[in-house]
Structure 1
């Protein structure tokens, strides 16, 4: 019995030692380097062996507390597709008005390889570390690891210093590769109480304790410097998670980064000794007031003189408020050219942007607010976080990176973005369709504004075709695009030649040949796009003996379900509601009759999320198909994933079911 206990003890001790080694930088073993695939995810191209972070508060008499967060990571590369994990980019904020910019320092970085049965350690040199500017508010420290190959292990330690203690650095613990172990520790002085916000679908365990600590710092006594000591209690929090699966991006997702497991912490209360606790958590009204108090922002909205004469002629000739709004919006879109710079603050005077006819998002859209207000229209800016920037979960102006315009006309809110020449009222660029924005008013109040489209954008396809006795199909297509479908068509196709459009279509639908291609209403934003072309194809009909087999959807037939995962944790994002209608009339060849037609069908998802109706009929030599597929919400929650997956499975079954013709 004793020997069994000793064996267990040594195995247990060995496993603890092994884990301890793996959770420290510099402890890379031959066994780790020889590992060919991840233990629980054999498809993984790489994996975090661990990711750890620790936030300390450092006190200085002049500035008070600042935070220093130390990050440590250890990553194993399994496949050549994982080599990109050897290029790190660490963003940090540099847009503060009253605080020092954040700063990142690379403490150490190494690549480990097994060569000649020995562990070879290669250091990241200075040329592998550099700083790059992302935009006016963000920079990034980039690290490129040397000598990385399949089988390598990379280690990195870096520190982020910030004077902004209202939010602590984000700790991300889930990626599109597995994470074996994640740990975050914070040592927060008792004076500050933070609210923890956990994102994603992987929970973190939490252990907390309070202990007494002290810091020495240089202080002033008269004109002399003296070492002082600050003694206080601190709250030690440890968040942990193990065996975190990769979150893989599937079709129809907004920004996968919104759904990774992350920890964010926002300062809620300051409680200094012998003082009343102060609630510090920012409100949306705080954000609105802070932005309106900025002199450049305020000037961009209240300055009228530079455009006054140009707008007066528009104002005097418009018959209604609706017409006035539309004409001013059109004027700004046509005059101004977006330089593709984001932000909600002007980076130059709007007067200069107006003269030069070029500006960033804020300069163009705040100019639009100003023109509308001068014309007596109720217009306000709306702060937005774009799809690529993520979702703003709590009030903090650093989370926004864009601004659009909300106009109230006859108690109806119209949303506008004059940076996009092809956009229209309530038809915002896709980059802006990200949940909700925050409308801010000059009196300091604010309001949440839903950015997502509510009405279906139609797409109507009409095909008239005939099949000859050799199984060749020839016909005409007339496709109409409405609302967002028309907007995206113009965005993706305007300015291209007819020949390039034909080549795109022939690539989408392999095996068809297109001629007589035309497009109507490319520039008329109020009208649908109408696309017309003739086609021939010889690969949609199969002839076996005296029978023909083909899908009634011809080359439009869908054969693959876009939803393949067993389950999905994040929402399904279709960007906007859509109605797809297909009407096909075709003539069967002489000497053939219809033997079998597919079954008609009607399907509906719960809560009217999606509907489908399929009708097909045969009269003599004519077959007609009418197919309608409605997706009635821009975003469908993940709880409906299994139902949606089966709904699309039925769509594939419908579209792949064959018509059978036989010689009569």
Structure 2
């Protein structure tokens, strides 16, 4: 009877995961024979089983973390999954250890399972002052192999309980993490990512830790399971993967010693505000009129309009101080910046804050984490999460977010790196709070084209282009730094036309737009007496940036977009218009975006109107299949629209 129950359980487990793979550490012939993973045909490898168990050792009181993995190699690009690297951190009086490293490669040869074991000689260590890097490569790994690895890590660094990554570069069939945390350690537990648990259980283990004096602690025991986890595959229009990769992280909040002492590790925001206020690198650098006395010229201080004065002060900082590309919140000195004229983002924006407040313009610092640094933790203060500083000022009841590190950004425009949804506004009077960072105006690209046909097989005309908002920053910088190189790059990009008489007609670093005009010559495609002309001599998107089968994280443009293209073609009387493309009007769900393609023929003139609009700066993952189809249509229209003319 027991055998029957076991068989039924195994069959149930077998079919609940895959017809080829079973989520445990055993190796089966069917798994070695399998060549693909049905849920992701693009996968280079599949993590069949991923297991972790972390607990405090009853004898040593060290944190022990046990790891086991079973991985199937599906493609040549997955062979490097047999390479492992483990970091062991060092402290002043202790360092992490690793024990019992085991690894085996399984291959199917002549119908038999062949094992190749990792040897001790194949494990290498690289040492430096901060950590030890342990590296090993499993032997005989090839396409079709299954590899298993296990080891135990031991650490006395309890401030950071062992985190667990459920999601990674490969799909995961089954991931399980078990924890046992003594009650005298109180952690903030943060779950990142949108994938739900398949199973999550908690229980209490009495007297899991005991000291020689009769003191003891109970342990909170947890089991976390996720199944069928898709790989995290990076794609354009997102922030760092750290914002979305599914995982559990721990931050020690309070430690209750067996001797009765209580150490408060993680502070409240009220505590953090007090700390920042007296911080010599932060609070001591803000709102100090003595620091900026006599820095501003009379031409600025005499301005009576507050907004004009604020913009003048902003421009003064841009013109006189250079950002050194550093973002550290340490060794900050506004005094040194004033002297040296070069400084970090904290120094430059703190100088701007001092200058604005000295002129009676209320301004607050906003701590940020940049797009590449990940979201700052919201549930409790982690000051090390912040690597950037911007300012918020309110003038005539209108809010402005400002940053004086780039002369091509105008007053009220933040650099793209700072568009990371929110920051922490620091107000030492009423207390800090979270501030949403949102770009409300649309950024745009607009091209207006007028061309005339000619019987000598050339079309000539003129292009006027205008870029606003975030689309204007790069053209402004490229043109300002090297006008010749800017024009050459444009000529090289637009290979299907000849550009002459290029002229920039609207350019100031202090304005949020850039406009140019140039003459063009087009040589359309001739087949017999017919001319085939693609009206899109300038394309917004050469290809669809969205290529994944599915995407589990948001599509983050950072700001709202409008792309407009207008063309007027005057047809010579020697040509007859045979064919023009059909009109298209297509929208994303909930009016989140639209594409309009409209052509009209008026006598011997063809008017082309094309507009792509993204009404959201950030789209939820549910929009991905719609955005993918949307962009297919946009690219198809630009690449394959054809106007057919016939020479009479």
> TM bucket by the smaller chain?
0.7 to 0.9
SS at match of 1:341: coil
Map residues 14-413 of structure 1 onto 2, 5 A cutoff: 37-38=36-37, 40-57=39-56, 69=65, 71-73=67-69, 75-82=71-78, 85=81, 105-107=97-99, 119-122=116-119, 129=126, 143=135, 145=137, 150-151=142-143, 153=147, 155=149, 157=151, 159=153, 161=155, 163=157, 165=159, 168-191=161-184, 196-204=189-197, 205-215=199-209, 227-265=212-250, 283-311=268-296, 313=298, 315-343=300-328, 345-394=329-378, 395-397=380-382, 398-413=384-399
In 2, the alpha carbon distance for the partners of 1:162 and 1:312 equals 57
Could you report, residue by residue, the CA deviation over 1:561-584 in whole angstroms, capped at 9, with x for unpaired residues? 444455543322222112222121
In 2, the alpha carbon distance for the partners of 1:150 and 1:516 equals 59
Q: Which runs of 5+ in 1 are unaligned?
A: 134-138, 218-226
- Contact 1:124–1:145 (Cα < 8 Å) also in 2: no
Relative to structure 1, the CA distance from residue 526 to residue 560 in structure 2 (aligned partners, 3 Å threshold; closer, same or farther) is: closer
Relative to structure 1, the CA distance from residue 122 to residue 601 in structure 2 (aligned partners, 3 Å threshold; closer, same or farther) is: same
- Contact 1:369–1:380 (Cα < 8 Å) also in 2: yes
SS at match of 1:525: coil
Could you report, residue by residue, the CA deviation over 1:451-507 in whole angstroms, capped at 9, with x for unpaired residues? 221111122112222344575544332211112111233356652452464345534
Aligned to 1:457: 443
In 1, the alpha carbon distance for the partners of 2:331 and 2:27 equals 48
Relative to structure 1, the CA distance from residue 209 to residue 304 in structure 2 (aligned partners, 3 Å threshold; closer, same or farther) is: same
1:486 is aligned, of 454, 462, 472, to: 472
Could you report, residue by residue, the CA deviation over 1:81-102 in whole angstroms, capped at 9, with x for unpaired residues? 34565676778999xxxx9899
Relative to structure 1, the CA distance from residue 28 to residue 612 in structure 2 (aligned partners, 3 Å threshold; closer, same or farther) is: closer
In 1, the alpha carbon distance for the partners of 2:99 and 2:323 equals 40
Q: Which runs of 5+ in 2 are unaligned?
A: none
Relative to structure 1, the CA distance from residue 295 to residue 56 in structure 2 (aligned partners, 3 Å threshold; closer, same or farther) is: farther
1:338 is displaced (CA, Å) by 2.7
Relative to structure 1, the CA distance from residue 73 to residue 510 in structure 2 (aligned partners, 3 Å threshold; closer, same or farther) is: farther
Relative to structure 1, the CA distance from residue 49 to residue 653 in structure 2 (aligned partners, 3 Å threshold; closer, same or farther) is: closer
Relative to structure 1, the CA distance from residue 313 to residue 558 in structure 2 (aligned partners, 3 Å threshold; closer, same or farther) is: closer
**Structure 1, 31-40 or 47-56: larger mean CA deviation:** 31-40
2:574 is aligned, of 591, 608, 611, to: 591
In 2, the alpha carbon distance for the partners of 1:128 and 1:271 equals 36
TM-score normalised over the length of structure 2: 0.82
Aligned pair 1:437/2:418, yes or no? no
1:23 is displaced (CA, Å) by 5.5
SS at match of 1:295: coil
SS at match of 2:179: strand
In 1, the alpha carbon distance for the partners of 2:537 and 2:475 equals 23
Aligned to 2:605: 622
- Contact 1:602–1:612 (Cα < 8 Å) also in 2: yes
Aligned to 1:633: 616
In 1, the alpha carbon distance for the partners of 2:356 and 2:85 equals 41
Relative to structure 1, the CA distance from residue 663 to residue 527 in structure 2 (aligned partners, 3 Å threshold; closer, same or farther) is: same
Relative to structure 1, the CA distance from residue 346 to residue 642 in structure 2 (aligned partners, 3 Å threshold; closer, same or farther) is: same
Aligned to 1:222: none
Cα RMSD (Å):
4.5
Relative to structure 1, the CA distance from residue 20 to residue 188 in structure 2 (aligned partners, 3 Å threshold; closer, same or farther) is: farther
In 2, the alpha carbon distance for the partners of 1:405 and 1:209 equals 47
SS at match of 1:418: coil
1:554 is displaced (CA, Å) by 3.6
In 2, the alpha carbon distance for the partners of 1:292 and 1:412 equals 26
- Contact 1:338–1:360 (Cα < 8 Å) also in 2: yes
In 1, the alpha carbon distance for the partners of 2:599 and 2:132 equals 58
In 2, the alpha carbon distance for the partners of 1:74 and 1:4 equals 26
Relative to structure 1, the CA distance from residue 163 to residue 535 in structure 2 (aligned partners, 3 Å threshold; closer, same or farther) is: same
- Contact 1:300–1:346 (Cα < 8 Å) also in 2: no
Size of the alignment, in residue pairs?
633
Relative to structure 1, the CA distance from residue 566 to residue 83 in structure 2 (aligned partners, 3 Å threshold; closer, same or farther) is: closer
**Structure 1, 103-112 or 641-650: larger mean CA deviation:** 103-112
Map residues 534-573 of structure 1 onto 2, 5 A cutoff: 534-538=519-523, 541-556=524-539, 560-565=543-548, 567-573=550-556
- Contact 1:87–1:142 (Cα < 8 Å) also in 2: no
Could you report, residue by residue, the CA deviation over 1:26-72 in whole angstroms, capped at 9, with x for unpaired residues? x88998788755565342123334433333347999xxx88565555
- Contact 1:145–1:154 (Cα < 8 Å) also in 2: no
Aligned to 2:592: 609
Aligned pair 1:447/2:433, yes or no? yes
SS at match of 1:506: helix
